[in-house]
Chains A and B, each alone.
Chain A
């Protein structure tokens, strides 16, 4: 923070120091080319210093005694000294990673929101910050951590699904090392696919993501894995109540080629197998597992190749011996990326990524002569190329993107004895092409802009049969050209105050419409087609970033308004019959969302954390529903507050706590009931016109680190204890109705119940790290 203030101060004084000149600096990892956020820069022999606050460039005011030297340092990297000439006005400095340090120490807490960048609604969370947040069953999670940020709401109790600024869950792009994760949840969304031991950091863009990202209307969550150590082998293991995991990383060829292997598995029902196997349900089990493999190869000082793989699966098996009923429900994701990063010069770098992302859901089973199988999913084969070049006060990014999609709807097949029932539906294919260009321009010392355009072409391609015509493989059935435009302005009002504004217009070509209150593994991705137009979003926003010069305190205030076109939802009499194309069952409409978000952060000291509050509204309207009435979304929860605190008592002990409060979730009320066929039936009122009670909850945890026996001990461990929902708040997880009609008795009853889950859940985890 102090460094940021110095930077701001130095920017502010440029006007009154004509003998000084400004130089624009970017700092990157020498091999990977990745931005080294937080790098400290100082002109040798002077007090002129700056900190690169985010993935943009820093400005350093130099005294006029040219030529001079710039000293650049960053935790975990060698200090670099670079000479700059009189003609130099911008420079990219490459730092070499130190061999005896593995992880970047992130200073401060509460995510990096970057006052000094022309970017709004962006927050970066490091591994340490994520791990300090108390979590359900002690399973710390990236996706639950981001839900504590203003403007991001959980899709449900303990759920990893989330809604950003009034957008649907499908409007969030989730990336793992450049590859798209299409379903980031395990166990119905209670856990995410991200093993935090493998996560380096995550960066979320709310509302208006940069044009380099493939289209989503509401947010981009870019999660990056740890770069494997190249100096020594490290083993990390976590034992939890629900799952255990390990991470092994180290060099295959020292300083050149390194590997990381991570794995995780749950075992709750494994433990109970002894009991289950003595019941009618012998053979019933549930578990999930996932694994990570990353290989990092530094080909030269300028080239780095990284291969990152993730594969995970949930597997539920159900058996009943007495009825002979059995089914298996496996679902999961697998993603792979192969990236080549090259530094062409100190001003130019490029990245080429080849990715494969897949998500599949299957349900198969039967009873004696009856067998069935249901499958759905998505597969995405992508190639993305990006070039970044710095010229003067401009940093220009351009790139190309091509993704081939296979979208499999629910395909049901069944057999009864020898009779086969063939599926009617077949996969759809899509091709998503894009070119983008972005220019970040320091117009003046106070004014900076970021303007980008992305030209998208989405095609529904064959093989496909429609209206009696057969389209061959790769033949275009329907296509859309859509431009995305985005502009962000940053203006420095004073050393403490920065004003930002943005406007964007972007599109989304694949859609996931859920007929549930949350995200489910059975949800289906649907591509744009002749009948489904791409979703479109327009957003304007205004932000104020105040950084205290007296205290390690930051305040970020942002206000936005969004308009959404071609929104999809299910009609309220939708029944999934597995035989019709889903797109024929959608209603189409418009949406609006607006809100104001406030975050106050304390970034240094023993006590760190943040307090956030957002007031936001979100509506949709569909001509086919309730005469086009403005319908609040299920996630229209106006008040959203979170308090996240962490306190380091001493070197060994630390405490952490979170408290969240949200307006209750919307639901569709029952106006009254009626009797049909001797049974009561609900007659529902206007969609989402009622609200559950306010949601709030407090979680706490304490962490104690082992006392090292020797200063150079190669082993350390820590215990974490905590409680999820400390004060037994009975937050409604779901509701249901219970009807009973007995005309013989002349009586009936209509009851509704609500279920509160996780009222008080203690947890304990043990982590250990061993240097091999």
Chain B
């Protein structure tokens, strides 16, 4: 009887649509830019967009309207001269070129009708190094945004290896492990993305960590396969399939970039009863978003 009542309570619990918007809010600019050093580095690029209304379905028209195409984007490394990034819009490219850029920037494939514009160091003029301060300056529609980020020293992963996953049933699924020797002293911040069979690098639900709990220690740990937000949880969550080729993009990042991803991921996970909101801590003055400098490498392993 008791169980029946509880089951009834759960079944009768109702889910319905909810409008979380408050008073009408002004549109804001969004910056997403990266500058990387190391063997796995992508060319420096910046995506500019505007916020979207929280309005259920967001179609092509809204997506295209949110993309900023007219802007001056400059990057300064240390005391060097500013380098203006070149605007490349998908509508200007043929399919082959678009695929190359998508792959090079790790953007993944995009519907051809979505006219993404990316500001990119197409000529490879930027030559950042460890410890450099990379400053970003954007001007669009008479508005300026600035940010800066420091490229931290790279802390490599040790050899990757494959093990059977914990639990009773492993089947065709495996777990990837690695180890790291975290340098003692300075705070270090890490992020990783995974790619399966030459697909795009995808961020998982929790991609960043600092070394507050393991400063100066050496240990083995699991590198879960990135499952994008919205993926269901099941017993294969975060596991790699036998036969797959996995690539791990391992980055050391600065604190500002860590704070951005950390607040974003915490806020995304912190949903449900009793939870409150978490505001994403961006590092771009005048806009939402992130300008992240990092040192990086890519590790490849065949799951067998």
0/1 string, B137-149, CB within 8 A of A gives 1: 0000000000000
* Complex: A242 Cα to B1 Cα, angstroms: 10
Question: How distant is A743 from chain B, measured CB to nearest CB, in Å?
Answer: 5
Question: Which of A242, A417, A580 lies in contact with B220, CB distance below 8 A?
Answer: A417
Question: Which of A516, A686, A732, A762 lies in contact with B5, CB distance below 8 A?
Answer: A762
- Chain B residues lying within 8 Å of A414, measured Cβ to Cβ, are 213
B230 touches A739 (CB 8 A): yes
Does any Cβ of A come within 8 Å of B94's Cβ? no
B3 touches A272 (CB 8 A): yes
* Complex: A438 Cα to B113 Cα, angstroms: 78
* Complex: A401 Cα to B198 Cα, angstroms: 69
Question: How distant is B128 from chain A, measured CB to nearest CB, in Å?
Answer: 21
Interface residues of A in 668-701 (CB under 8 A from B): 668-686, 689-690
- Chain A residues lying within 8 Å of B228, measured Cβ to Cβ, are 678-679
Question: Which of A324, A751, A755 lies in contact with B56, CB distance below 8 A?
Answer: A751
- Chain B residues lying within 8 Å of A156, measured Cβ to Cβ, are 274
A757 touches B15 (CB 8 A): no
B168 touches A670 (CB 8 A): no
Question: How distant is A520 from chain B, measured CB to nearest CB, in Å?
Answer: 6
* Complex: A502 Cα to B15 Cα, angstroms: 46
* Complex: A733 Cα to B110 Cα, angstroms: 38
Interface residues of B in 90-131 (CB under 8 A from A): 107-111, 113-114, 116
Does any Cβ of A come within 8 Å of B203's Cβ? yes
Known: A671-B21, A675-B30. A267 touches B230 (CB 8 A): no
Does any Cβ of B come within 8 Å of A213's Cβ? no
* Complex: A223 Cα to B25 Cα, angstroms: 48
- Chain A residues lying within 8 Å of B8, measured Cβ to Cβ, are 761
A674 touches B52 (CB 8 A): yes
- Chain B residues lying within 8 Å of A753, measured Cβ to Cβ, are 15-18
The segment from A20-28, A530-538, A570-578 that touches chain B is A570-578
B213 touches A516 (CB 8 A): no
B277 touches A682 (CB 8 A): yes
* Complex: A762 Cα to B165 Cα, angstroms: 45
- Chain B residues lying within 8 Å of A672, measured Cβ to Cβ, are 25, 27-28, 51-54
Does any Cβ of B come within 8 Å of A443's Cβ? no
B109 touches A744 (CB 8 A): yes
* Complex: A759 Cα to B28 Cα, angstroms: 40
Does any Cβ of B come within 8 Å of A16's Cβ? no
* Complex: A322 Cα to B6 Cα, angstroms: 27
- Chain A residues lying within 8 Å of B52, measured Cβ to Cβ, are 672-675, 680, 748, 750
- The number of A-B residue pairs with CB atoms under 8 Å apart is 263
Known: A417-B220, A745-B111. A515 touches B20 (CB 8 A): no
- Chain A residues lying within 8 Å of B109, measured Cβ to Cβ, are 743-744
Does any Cβ of B come within 8 Å of A624's Cβ? no
* Complex: A416 Cα to B63 Cα, angstroms: 44
- Chain B residues lying within 8 Å of A670, measured Cβ to Cβ, are 20-22, 54
A685 touches B22 (CB 8 A): yes
- Chain B residues lying within 8 Å of A475, measured Cβ to Cβ, are none
B264 touches A268 (CB 8 A): no
Question: How distant is B196 from chain A, measured CB to nearest CB, in Å?
Answer: 16
- Chain B residues lying within 8 Å of A745, measured Cβ to Cβ, are 111
A750 touches B58 (CB 8 A): yes
B30 touches A761 (CB 8 A): no
0/1 string, B230-241, CB within 8 A of A gives 1: 100001000000
A241 touches B2 (CB 8 A): yes
Does any Cβ of B come within 8 Å of A771's Cβ? no
Question: How distant is B77 from chain A, measured CB to nearest CB, in Å?
Answer: 23
Does any Cβ of A come within 8 Å of B13's Cβ? yes
0/1 string, B18-51, CB within 8 A of A gives 1: 1111110101101010000000000000000111
B167 touches A734 (CB 8 A): no
The segment from B154-162, B243-251, B278-286, B296-304 that touches chain A is B278-286
- Nearest A residue (CB) for B266: A575
B17 touches A752 (CB 8 A): yes
- Nearest A residue (CB) for B201: A677
* Complex: A727 Cα to B277 Cα, angstroms: 31
- Nearest B residue (CB) for A675: B49
B275 touches A573 (CB 8 A): no
* Complex: A520 Cα to B116 Cα, angstroms: 44
- List 18 interface pairs A-B (beta carbons < 8 Å), by A numbering: A320-B235, A321-B167, A323-B166, A370-B222, A517-B274, A518-B273, A574-B278, A575-B262, A577-B210, A634-B276, A669-B20, A670-B54, A674-B288, A675-B49, A676-B289, A683-B280, A685-B22, A748-B63
Interface residues of A (CB under 8 A from B): 137, 156, 188, 241-242, 267-268, 271-272, 280, 320-325, 367-370, 412, 414, 416-417, 419, 421, 424, 515-518, 520, 572-580, 634, 667-686, 689-690, 730, 732-740, 743-763
13 more contacts with CB within 8 A, not counting A674-B288, A756-B13, are A267-B2, A324-B165, A367-B167, A368-B166, A579-B210, A669-B21, A676-B264, A730-B14, A746-B59, A747-B111, A748-B52, A748-B58, A758-B9
Please name the 7 residue pairs, one residue from A and one from B, whose CB atoms are nearest each other, closest first. Answer: A669-B22, A746-B111, A579-B212, A671-B25, A324-B166, A324-B167, A368-B166
